[in-house]
Amino acid sequence: MQTCTSPTEKRRIVIAGGGYAGTTLAVRLAKRIRPSDDVEILLIEPNPCQQALSELDLVAVGPPRPEFCELWLPTIFKDLPVTVCYNRVHAVLPDEHAVLVGPREGPHEKVPYWRLVLATGAVAFVPPVPGLKEHATTMWSVHDAQKLQERIQQQFRVAAKTVDREARARALSFAVIGGGATGIEIVGTMAQMLPKRMLDHGLDPRDLHVHLVEGRPDILYDLPESLRRKAKARLARLKVELHLGSMVSSVDDEGITLENGARVPASVVVFCGGAKADPDATTWGLAADPSGRLTVDEWLRASGKPDIYAIGDVAAFRDPETKRTLPMLAQFAIREAEHTADNLLRELRGQPTEPFRPHMHGEFVSIGPSYGVGWAFRFHLSGIPAIIMKRFTYVMYWYEVGGIRIAWKRLREMLAMQR
Ligand SMILES: Cc1cc2nc3c(=O)[nH]c(=O)nc-3n(C[C@H](O)[C@H](O)[C@H](O)COP(=O)(O)OP(=O)(O)OC[C@H]3O[C@@H](n4cnc5c(N)ncnc54)[C@H](O)[C@@H]3O)c2cc1C
């Protein structure tokens, strides 16, 4: 059996999950520890390529790429004092201060920890609507995005061979379910980029139909009313057909039936209706809220377990000011990771730790690669300034974890995907 660790006298910090939260934490800790801290950092993550959740719309609809990776972890960690184990945490044994590492079917290696940080993220949640699981693609991983890319290519091939105009338009009907940020980003990118891709394939963009289905009467509820209006105006300019205010009752291979009886024809359906915390985390004997996110105290420590932290999407941090649980957003995952890294350093040095106080400085949603809506501090932005702000947050993340070279490389890749 391949093992993750070798015996050590040092205090070991084990980080489970190398997404936005886990990678930020590992990099920040590694850059700040001193030899006298006497610590080993072990990051356990099954995938050497970090999932590009915030660029999935471009991966799905932009120019096809054989492979896509937001950050290649071996490059990020090659010069840092972090041991990366490309495997998964199978179980947590809080009483033994250890995790079991290995595939589901075993064998498992027992890895002791001094502190454990759980950052295993979330997965797409598909409600039990008839036909939804069978006929819709979710949008929560690069694999999902590549599946959608393939489905689009497939429909282009079908349309190219179809003489009848109506049948061709049916083949080129796409529907996105979910009017939150994820759904709006994917529908906007489809509506803006597919016409050009169709022209490249000798197809007539007038045959394209892009639908957005949302059960509530409006979209983007997290944004102020004025920005929601701008978002809808933008979708109208992109000729997205909106179906608001009725839930989906079933999905089949020709489209969607709504509870109000309306029919939305679609050869490809994308479901962006929700996410739930990593379901494995609820099997680890730690307290979770009703939605399955691990409950944490103000220091982001798992309830009743002072040597286990939980951060990012898997954790349910209740903001003491607003009394609301933080939403699953990369910006909070990153802030929680930075805070936890600083608290771990304080713990290592025998200093008092500090409670986490979240602040939301802004939120931006892209509606196609060249337009966005959102706010920062007290300013509302739309159009190109908003999309620049949105892209800027990615660049900052790449810069923080990978430095200027990686940030520049990724920025060029992202701009290439938008063409
Ligand atoms: C399409 C889409 C668009 C989004 N856009 C935005 C946006 O614009 N802005 C924003 O703020 N947020 C956005 N989000 C949300 C954001 O991506 C998440 O909040 C963020 O990824 C959370 O980071 P995380 O580190 O908690 O989890 P993740 O980034 O999901 O990382 C979790 C990691 O844990 C690993 N893992 C899972 N199980 C195990 C295990 N048992 N052992 C070890 N490792 C494990 C996984 O492989 C993964 O690498 C978007 C999400 C989606 C799906």
Which ligand 1 atom is nearest residue 16's CA? 43
Query: How many distinct structural domains can be found in the chain?
Result: 3
Ligand 1 pocket, 330 CB below 6 A? Answer: yes
**Rounded CA gap, 170 and 143, in Å?**
25
Ligand 1 pocket, 52 CB below 6 A? Answer: no
In a domain, 298, yes or no: yes
Do 333 and 227 sit in the same domain of this protein? no
Do 141 and 267 sit in the same domain of this protein? yes
Do 138 and 245 sit in the same domain of this protein? yes
In a domain, 101, yes or no: yes
Mutate which of 4, 14, 15, 20 for ligand 1 pocket (most atoms within 8 A of beta carbon): 20
In a domain, 74, yes or no: yes
- Find the 329 Cα to ligand 1 centroid distance in Å: 8
Do 118 and 211 sit in the same domain of this protein? no
Do 299 and 370 sit in the same domain of this protein? no
In a domain, 304, yes or no: yes
Do 254 and 316 sit in the same domain of this protein? no
If one counts every other C-beta atom within 10 angstroms of the C-beta of residue 356, the result is 23
Ligand 1 pocket, 180 CB below 6 A? Answer: no
The predicted complex's ipTM stands at: 0.98
Are 214 and 184 in contact by the 8 Å Cβ rule? The answer is: no
Do 149 and 255 sit in the same domain of this protein? yes
If one counts every other C-beta atom within 10 angstroms of the C-beta of residue 256, the result is 25
Do 269 and 137 sit in the same domain of this protein? yes
Q: Give which of 351, 350, 372, 316 is closest to 181, Cα–Cα.
A: 372
Task: List the beta bridge partners of residue 212.
Answer: 176, 242
Burial class of residue 123, CB neighbours in 10 A (0-12, 13-18, 19+)? middle
The domain spanning residue 57 has which CATH number? 3.50.50.60
In a domain, 3, yes or no: no
Of all protein residues, whose CA lies closest to atom 3 belonging to ligand 1?
54
What residues have CB less than 8 Å from 401, skipping those under 6 apart? Answer: 23, 24, 27, 71, 76
List b or e across 26-57, with b for residues whose CB sees 16 or more CB atoms inside 10 angstroms.
Answer: bbbbbeebeeebebbbbbbbeebbbbbbbbbb
Are 220 and 179 in contact by the 8 Å Cβ rule? The answer is: yes
- Find the 122 Cα to ligand 1 centroid distance in Å: 6
In a domain, 1, yes or no: no
Domain final position from 220, 251, 273: 273
In a domain, 93, yes or no: yes
**Rounded CA gap, 51 and 46, in Å?**
11
Ligand 1 pocket, 16 CB below 6 A? Answer: yes
Ordered DSSP codes for 42-53: EEE-S-SEE--G
Mutate which of 28, 329, 335, 387 for ligand 1 pocket (most atoms within 8 A of beta carbon): 329
Do 255 and 296 sit in the same domain of this protein? no
pLDDT at 61: 92
**Rounded CA gap, 278 and 63, in Å?**
31
What residues have CB less than 8 Å from 359, skipping those under 6 apart? Answer: 335
Interval 273-287: pLDDT, tens: 889 999 999 999 999
Domain final position from 240, 273, 306: 273
Do 112 and 202 sit in the same domain of this protein? no
In a domain, 5, yes or no: no
Per residue of the chain (419 residues), what is the pLDDT tens digit?
A: 668 877 778 899 999 999 999 999 999 999 999 999 999 999 999 999 987 677 889 889 988 777 778 889 999 999 999 999 999 999 999 999 999 999 999 999 999 999 999 999 999 999 999 999 999 999 988 889 999 999 999 999 999 999 999 999 999 999 999 999 999 999 999 999 999 999 999 999 999 999 999 999 999 998 999 999 999 999 999 999 999 999 999 999 999 999 999 999 999 999 998 899 999 999 999 999 999 999 999 999 999 999 999 999 999 999 999 999 999 999 999 999 999 999 999 999 999 999 999 988 899 999 999 999 999 988 999 999 999 999 898 899 999 999 999 999 988 888 887 77
Residue with tokens 């282009």: 156
Domain final position from 254, 273, 292: 273
Ligand 1 pocket, 255 CB below 6 A? Answer: no
Do 112 and 40 sit in the same domain of this protein? yes
Do 146 and 178 sit in the same domain of this protein? yes
Domain that holds residue 296: 11-123+276-359
- Find the 170 Cα to ligand 1 centroid distance in Å: 34
Ordered DSSP codes for 327-364: PS-HHHHHHHHHHHHHHHHHHHTTPPP--------EEE
- Find the 307 Cα to ligand 1 centroid distance in Å: 23
Counting every residue written for the chain, the total comes to 419
